[in-house]
Amino acid sequence: MIFVTVGTHDQGFERLVKAADELATLVEGEPVLIQTGCSDYIPIHADYFRYSDSQSINKFIQQARIVISQASAGTIIAVFLLNKPLIIIPRLRKFNENWTDHQIELASALHEQGRALAILNEQLNGQVLKEALNKVPQFSSTFDGSTSLIQALRNQLNTWEQHRNKFHIEKR
């Protein structure tokens, strides 16, 4: 199974949901499961659900051959702890998918370290995802026993959450 998750963000991620739905038509014999969140697009080729609890999400990650996700520190930590290959697509401000472009930095860093395959292409579609599926085995999202990466991700998550709360307060 290919598990695709957009997290619990309050902005949709239609680019990823549509591309993952298209991917379901391009991979034979492997189901695609999409967690769509608040995205407006409803998949027609893949199984999907909007939200679930963290235990269920971890179960889907554990069952997946590959995880495709937004560049969310929480999801990345779960994927690393469960030793699954990871393709990450950052949410972009220009498409109203996020309030900043901070996910690009995390996705790029993990890509450069060889821990995940980052897709920074704005023209996201099923074919781009299919090509990424063939490249992801060369990346190692496995947890090496060191807590430094996990702690750095948790620290970054806290920083972004504080920034997000500040942003939303200022926005009102």
In sequence order, the 6+-apart residues with CB closer than 8 A to the CB of 14 are 39, 40, 41
Sign of the CA dihedral 36, 39, 45, 50? positive
Cβ of 43: how many Cβ atoms within 10 Å?
19
Q: Which helix (H) or strand (E) holds 79?
A: helix 73-81
Residue 2's nearest CA partner among 62, 67, 48 is: 67
How confident is the model at residue 11, as a pLDDT? 86
What is the domain extent for residue 29? 2-171
Q: How confident is the model at residue 155 (pLDDT cuts 50, 70, 90)?
A: low
Query: Strands (DSSP E) along 53-160, which ranges?
Result: 66-70, 86-89, 117-118
In sequence order, the 6+-apart residues with CB closer than 8 A to the CB of 38 are 9, 10, 11, 12, 50
How confident is the model at residue 99, as a pLDDT? 76
pLDDT tens for 133-154 read 999 876 655 555 555 556 666 6
Check pLDDT > 80 for residue 119.
Answer: yes
Residue 153's CATH number: 3.40.50.2000
pLDDT tens for 20-32 read 999 999 998 999 9
Check pLDDT > 50 for residue 170.
Answer: no
Torsion angles phi and psi, residue 33, rounded to 5: -115, 125
How confident is the model at residue 146, as a pLDDT? 53
What domain count does the chain have? 1
